[in-house]
Amino acid sequence: MTAQSAGAEGFPQVRPGTEPDAGAVAPGEGPDAAGAQPDTRPGRRLVVCAPLWPEARAVRAGIGDGGEVRVSGYGPGGARKQAGRLRRDAFGALAVAGTGGGLTDDLTPGDLVVATEVTDGTTTTACPSAALLAGELRRAGLTVRTGPVVSVERLAGGRARARAVDAGALAVDMESAWLAPAAGERPVAVVRAISDTPQRPLRSPAALAGGLRALRSLRAAGPALNRWAAAAGQRRVLLAGPRSFCAGVERAIEIVEKLLEQQGPPVYVRKQIVHNTHVVADLERRGAVFVDELGEVPDGACVVFSAHGVSPAVRADAGRRGLSTVDATCPLVSKVHVEARRFAAEGYLVALIGHAGHEEVEGTLGEAPEAMALVETAEDVARLRPPDPAKVAYLMQTTLAVDEAEEVAGALRERFPAARAPGSDDICYATTNRQQAVRAVAAESDLVLVAGSANSSNSVRLVETAQRAGAPAHLIDGPADIELGWLAGVSTVGLSAGASAPPAVVGEIIAALAGLGPVEVNERVTTTESIRFSLPKEVRSP
Ligand code: SF4
């Protein structure tokens, strides 16, 4: 099918400081739009404003020749003056880096807070690339939190701090909110190294040690700031369509949500309901309890079987324990189970093409353990010793790479010409469609990013598919996993998401990239999907 190009619905073109759903911001409309054009000359690309000279010295030691470090002056007065100068200057990206007061009990001196936004209570400046910079700093071994930073007019004590905490801020300073708007439409970052905390207040004996630790962290942050500035630039994002949730994943999540609604927490789920950290964390927050084995489920409780399916032995165990069960196995996985039982009953050796250790494979093999063999490669096929070479059948894990699985199936057919194939494709429609779509964007992209968790088979296969199509490709759980070095010199980023990755993560990735420069979003749609699976009777509304 030919790929169609479209301005991506729901993803307007985005610029630094705007969210992808905030609509396009035309040149000249943004705050301080009169700012100078980006200056890409070496050493001028990045300007870092540090309020006091010890902070400036620490940052300078960290960034070396990567940018210009200015002592911007202490407090709102100095910050406002420096902002005026910045508006007249040419630079590529602006960072504000200094020490700051931590507002929450979980911060300790030396931790870094990367601002998602800075505010003085009147004007708020968004810092959309915060997750990217924070990820880079964490990979450098620093302890980093992301969240709002509040700037105050004078040293913030009791009541001012309490107000900032109530507003959800992580740190307080006296400059950022007045400096950051001077970036205009250029990338802006605010990094505050925590020097004092609620337990170690500014005027305590521990304050000096806290300040020194903060300065060490500022210095250590320098190389990451350089990489952040080097990654700045205008880009195109090519969205692969379809991407993200499939019908089986939507059904599995809905089953847990309905049970939470109908029975209230806790709702026990055997294994991760789908292989995605965001989905699991969200359901956990709402009262789902994920267990590895049924032994962890209290007697008489209800347990959900995940989308990947379970073996008959697990079902029997649940029956023996008197647990009530709700089956969220994807109907397309259940179809493979049925085929396994059928072939085994007819006396075939059933070769299952799949990956060892995956829950779906364990569940399917459990249907007829004595009559089934896992084959991962053509070499495994050569090692097969069926009792009757004329009675060999094969099945596939639903989330394999289509081309790789076909290679193993070809080896099976070659060695056992009478081999029976599944009645219809085992690799599911969602896997096939997402691979076809990522192949289409990989052909046009300098870099492909796939949203998905490391244990998601179909997401990992999307990365491999893009790589086989010739593009550098990486799996990321979210924007914080994007290594800024990947983006240097990249003008087109292909973006897909595995069948278990929430659509919202795609939006977060685009928003973060837009924090590095204007982003034009297009979509390549290779096919559309309308499949829905009905819910099991246990959770259907009456
Ligand atoms: S990826 Fe395919 S088999 Fe897996 S849950 Fe989605 S539709 Fe079902």
**Helical spans, DSSP H, in 346-428:** 359-365, 378-383, 402-415
With a 6 Å cutoff on the Cβ, whether 248 touches ligand 1 is yes
With a 6 Å cutoff on the Cβ, whether 273 touches ligand 1 is no
Which residue's CA lies nearest to atom 7 of ligand 1? 248
More confident residue, 405 or 541: 405
pLDDT at 5 over 80: no
Buried b (16+ CB within 10 A) or exposed e, 214-241: bbbbbbbbbbbbbbbbbbbbebbbbbbb
CA within 13 Å, CB half, 539: 26
Q: Is residue 360 among the annotated active site residues?
A: yes
Q: Which of 429, 427, 439 is nearest to 496 (CA)?
A: 439
State residue 80 phi and psi, 5-degree precision.
-65, -40
With a 6 Å cutoff on the Cβ, whether 499 touches ligand 1 is yes
pLDDT in tens, 106-133: 999 999 999 999 999 999 999 999 999 9
DSSP β-ladder status, 267-270 and 288-291: parallel
Which atom number of ligand 1 is nearest to the Cα of residue 251? 5
Q: Which of 80, 96, 381, 389 is nearest to 221 (CA)?
A: 96
Which residue's CA lies nearest to atom 6 of ligand 1? 248
With a 6 Å cutoff on the Cβ, whether 253 touches ligand 1 is no
With a 6 Å cutoff on the Cβ, whether 330 touches ligand 1 is yes
Which residue's CA lies nearest to atom 2 of ligand 1? 428
pLDDT at 412 over 80: yes
* Mutate which of 428, 453, 530, 532 for ligand 1 pocket (most atoms within 8 A of beta carbon): 428
The DSSP letter of residue 451 is E
User: What is the model's pLDDT at position 8?
Assistant: 57
Contact 79, 175 (CB under 8 A): yes
With a 6 Å cutoff on the Cβ, whether 428 touches ligand 1 is yes
User: What is the model's pLDDT at position 13?
Assistant: 58
Q: Is the peptide bond before 266 cis (omega within 30 degrees of 0)?
A: yes
User: What is the model's pLDDT at position 10?
Assistant: 56
Least confident of 30-39, 197-206, 228-237, 487-496: 30-39
Least confident of 29-38, 383-392, 454-463: 29-38
pLDDT in tens, 240-297: 999 999 999 999 999 999 999 999 999 999 999 999 999 999 999 999 999 999 999 9
User: What is the model's pLDDT at position 2?
Assistant: 37
User: What is the model's pLDDT at position 33?
Assistant: 32
Q: By three-state DSSP, how is residue 154 classified? A: coil
Give me the percent of the chain exceeding a pLDDT of 90. 83
- How much is the average pLDDT of 516-524? 97
User: What is the model's pLDDT at position 43?
Assistant: 39
- How much is the average pLDDT of 295-318? 96
Query: Ligand 1: distance of its center to the CA of 499 in Å?
Result: 7
pLDDT in tens, 28-64: 233 333 333 444 454 358 999 999 999 999 999 999 9
What gap in Å lies between CA 480 and CA 224, rounded to an integer? Answer: 13
Catalytic-role residue among 55, 136, 359, 360: 360
Least confident of 21-25, 187-191, 463-467: 21-25
pLDDT at 351 over 80: yes
pLDDT in tens, 427-443: 999 999 999 999 999 99
Contact 193, 110 (CB under 8 A): yes
pLDDT at 379 over 70: yes
Mean pLDDT over all residues of the chain?
91
Query: Ligand 1: distance of its center to the CA of 249 in Å?
Result: 6
pLDDT in tens, 219-247: 999 999 999 999 999 999 999 999 999 99
With a 6 Å cutoff on the Cβ, whether 431 touches ligand 1 is yes
Angle at 204 between CA 200 and CA 205, to 5 degrees: 105
Contact 169, 148 (CB under 8 A): yes
What gap in Å lies between CA 128 and CA 19, rounded to an integer? Answer: 8
User: What is the model's pLDDT at position 515?
Assistant: 98
What gap in Å lies between CA 100 and CA 394, rounded to an integer? Answer: 62
Least confident of 182-186, 204-208, 522-526: 204-208
**Which residues neighbour 35 within 8 Å (Cβ) at sequence distance 6 or greater?**
86, 87, 182, 183, 184, 185, 186
Give the bridge partners for 494, in sequence order.
238, 448
How confident is residue 390, by pLDDT bands cut at 50, 70 and 90? very high
* Mutate which of 271, 272, 332 for ligand 1 pocket (most atoms within 8 A of beta carbon): 332
What gap in Å lies between CA 399 and CA 405, rounded to an integer? Answer: 10
Query: Ligand 1: distance of its center to the CA of 332 in Å?
Result: 6
User: What is the model's pLDDT at position 463?
Assistant: 98
How confident is residue 11, by pLDDT bands cut at 50, 70 and 90? low
